[in-house]
Amino acid sequence: MSSMHTKESLMRDMARLGINPKTTLLVHSAYKSIGGVEGRAEAVLDALESYMQEGLLVLPTHTWAAVDAEQPVFSVKDSPSCIGILPELFRKRPGVFRSGHPTHSVAARGKDAKVFVQGDEFKTTPCARDSAWGRLLDRNATVLFIGVGLSRNTFIHGVEEWLAIPGRLTDTYEQLVSVLADGRQVQVPSRRHIGHISENYPKATRYLLEQGVLRTGTFGSAQVMLHETQPLYEALKGLLKADPQLFSQPDDSWKTTGLPR
């Protein structure tokens, strides 16, 4: 029986992964993959926050599963995240700022968190280049996948959007509304992702590992992957220039990596 993970042991895992605590870190996560933790999910967030206390910690707090033309209102304060327990707990913590994008919000804590999330309520696509997703590229942020793989990599949606890959976004706009933390309401005409293209992103796993863009390790009991945004962007730009529809079809060759999708 393995012993329980602790806030301290999880911070040691982050150091072993080579994460720079003074930069920007985005975390995608499957909480259960981490295993038993003293203090449970809150202790995981404590570990992430403490490790990144001199930098900026960002978690996606997406609501695309719940906010649409039928249910068009997104509330920064009240709309729950549809992507797991860690984002949902994190967004409610003191000192955390959440962006106002109706479907693809993020929550941030630390250095310049408030500025980092500002203005996303005016973006009409999920991952606009001048949104928080584009700022991750500007900062060469680290993206950490805890127990999940590239199928959860929203940043790749951004790369495809910025490279104008055809067939990724609806031509039409849904009329959505963001209610900001101060109660202001903003009309946000929004294009949406078409289908579930991200399910095919893992097909790049092997190539990105071979190129040294993706690194692997562990966080608690979870298998993890991580990358910096600028090398990933450059690698994918090359792949997508050669084949713009690279991610339009599934491919199982990544499975032999033994990593989660």
Location of structure tokens 């975390």: 27
* Whole-prediction pTM: 0.97
Radius of gyration of the chain (CA): 18
Q: Give per-residue pLDDT as tens, 23-73.
A: 999 999 999 999 999 999 999 999 999 999 999 999 999 999 999 999 999
In this predicted model, what pLDDT tens digit does every residue of 214-258 receive, in sequence order? 999 999 999 999 999 999 999 999 999 999 999 999 999 888 898
Q: Taking Cα atoms as reference points, which of 217, 207, 168 lies closest to residue 13?
A: 217
Query: Residue 57, Cα to own-chain centre: how many angstroms?
Result: 11
3-state secondary structure of 199: helix
Give the Cα separation of 182 and 37 in Å (integer): 35
Under DSSP, the state recorded for 165 is -
Question: Domain-by-domain residue ranges, the chain?
Answer: 7-257
Structure tokens at 179: 């209610």
Q: Which residue pairs from 249-258 have beta carbons closer than 8 angstroms and sit at least 24 positions apart in sequence?
A: 249/200, 250/199, 250/200, 250/203, 251/200, 251/203, 252/203, 253/203, 253/206, 254/149, 254/150, 254/202, 254/203, 254/204, 254/205, 254/206, 256/206, 257/205, 257/206, 257/209, 258/223
In sign, the C-alpha dihedral spanning 195, 103, 203, 224 is: negative
Strand 142-146 to strand 24-29: parallel, antiparallel, or no bridges (unpaired)?
parallel
User: Percentage of residues in the chain with pLDDT exceeding 70?
Assistant: 99
Beta bridge partners of 226: 144, 215
